[in-house]
Amino acid sequence: MLGSAIYRVLSADSNNTILTASHKELDLTIQKQVYEFFGDQKIQQVYLAAAKAGGIFANNNFPADFIYNNLMIQANVIHASFLNNVKKLLFIGSSCIYPKFANQPITETSLLSGYLEPTNEPYSIAKIAGIKICESYNRQYGEKYGIDYRSITPTNLYGPGDNYLSVESHVIPALIKKFHEAKINNSSKVEVWGSGKVKREFMYVDDCAKGAIFVNNLERRQLDALTSKMCSHINIGTGSDLSIRELSEIIKNLTGFNGKISYDESKPDGTPRKLLDSKLINDLGWRPEISLEEGLKKTYSDFLENYV
C-alpha cells in the first residue's frame, strides 16, 4: 500500500525514472534473485517499503512468517544496495517497534526502552532490525563509501490499495468490510474485536508517502541536527488519536450501516495506546494534509470501486 503511494507521488515528477518489480518477478526473500536484480540495474535510490504485514490475527497466528520474511527482505535489499553502490536508501519501519507501555506520545528515543506487545513481537523485532541495519551500515561504511541509509517510523496507515482479507487486514479495512457487508446483508449487528477502548493514530497513506520522500530528500546536516548515529529514525504521524469505539462509529456512519455494534472482549486489544510524537519531522517543516474524515471517505470510495 505505502509502496504504491510512494510510486504515485514520485511518478508525478517526470524527472524521476522509477524501477519496480512485482513479487512474481522478484522474491525479495531470496538473496540470489535480489543480488541479480540489483546487479542488472543502475539504481541511485531505494525506498524499502516491501514487507509482510497484517493485523492482530495474522501477527498472532503466523509469527514465524512475519519475522522470517521481513528479516530476509530487509537484509537482502539493504546489503544488495550497498554492494551495488546505492548511496541513498529509505527504510520504512512501523510504530509497533516501540514498547507496549511507552510514554505517550512516543518519542524516537523510546525505542528499546521496554517490552514489546506480545501479539506482534516478531514483526516488531524485524522492523527494529531494519532500522539498526541501516544505522550499522552508516556507522561502518558511511564516510568511506558515502552511503546514507535512513529510516522512518510511520503511524498506522490506511487508504487505497489496503488489504481487505479478513484474517490479514488491519483495523480500518477490516471495519470497512464488516460494516459494508453488514449493510448489504441487512444484518442487525457488527462484532468488533476487543473492548474498543484502546486508542490508535491513523494517517492516510498518500500523506505518509509525501513524508517519506520529504525525509529522504533532506540535507544530511538537517537530519544530523535532530538525530544521532544510534537513534536515527524519524516518526511520521498526525499528532492525534481516537478510540476503536470512536473509529467504529465513524465507519458505521460512513458505510450507512444502521444496526448495533458489539465488542468481543475475549479477543486481544493489543497495545493500550500508540500515539507518536512527530515533533522532529514537524520541526523540519512537514505536516500531513488529509484529515481522518476525508481520508476515510477516499478509502471507502476506493473499496467500493475496486473491492466490491
User: Catalytic: 115?
Assistant: no
Nearest to residue 76, comparing CAs of 46, 98, 44?
46
| pLDDT band (50, 70, 90) for residue 168 | low
Per-residue pLDDT tens digits for 151-166: 999 999 999 988 887 6
Scan for cell 518477478, then name that residue.
Answer: 25
Mean pLDDT across 189-218 = 96
Share of the chain above pLDDT 70, in %: 99
Model pLDDT for residues 98-108, shown as the tens digit of each residue = 999 999 999 99
Average pLDDT, the chain: 95
Q: How confident is the model at residue 167 (pLDDT cuts 50, 70, 90)?
A: low
Task: Tell whether the model's pLDDT for residue 273 goes beyond 70.
Answer: yes
Contact 44, 70 (CB under 8 A): no
User: What pTM did the predictor assign?
Assistant: 0.94
CA distance 57 to 260: 23
* pLDDT tens figures, 54-76: 878 888 899 999 999 999 999 99
Give me the mean pLDDT over the 135-163 stretch.
Answer: 96
* Residue 298 confidence class, pLDDT cut points 50, 70, 90: very high
SS3 assignment, position 12: coil
Query: Cα separation of 59 and 169, whole Å?
Result: 10
Q: Does residue 128 register a pLDDT over 90? A: yes
Cβ-contact 111, 128 below 8 angstroms: yes
Cell of 147: 552511503
CATH number of the domain that residue 88 is part of:
3.40.50.720
Active-site entry in 47, 98, 123, 158: 123
Task: State residue 270's pLDDT score.
Answer: 84
Rounded to an integer, the average pLDDT of 158-175 is: 86
Give the pLDDT of residue 56.
82
On the question of pLDDT at 291 being above 90, the answer is yes
User: Above 80 in pLDDT, residue 257?
Assistant: yes
Q: What is the largest CA-CA distance in the chain?
A: 65
Average pLDDT over residues 23-32: 96
User: What does the pLDDT read at residue 50?
Assistant: 95
Give the residue numbers spanning the domain of 205: 2-306
Q: Is the pLDDT of residue 268 over 90?
A: no
Averaged pLDDT, 265-275: 90
d(CA 242, CA 244): 7
pLDDT score recorded for residue 166: 65
Count: domains in the chain:
1
Q: What is the mean pLDDT of residues 278-305?
A: 97
Distance (Å) of CA 186 to CA 92, 177, 182, 264, 305: 40, 14, 6, 21, 21
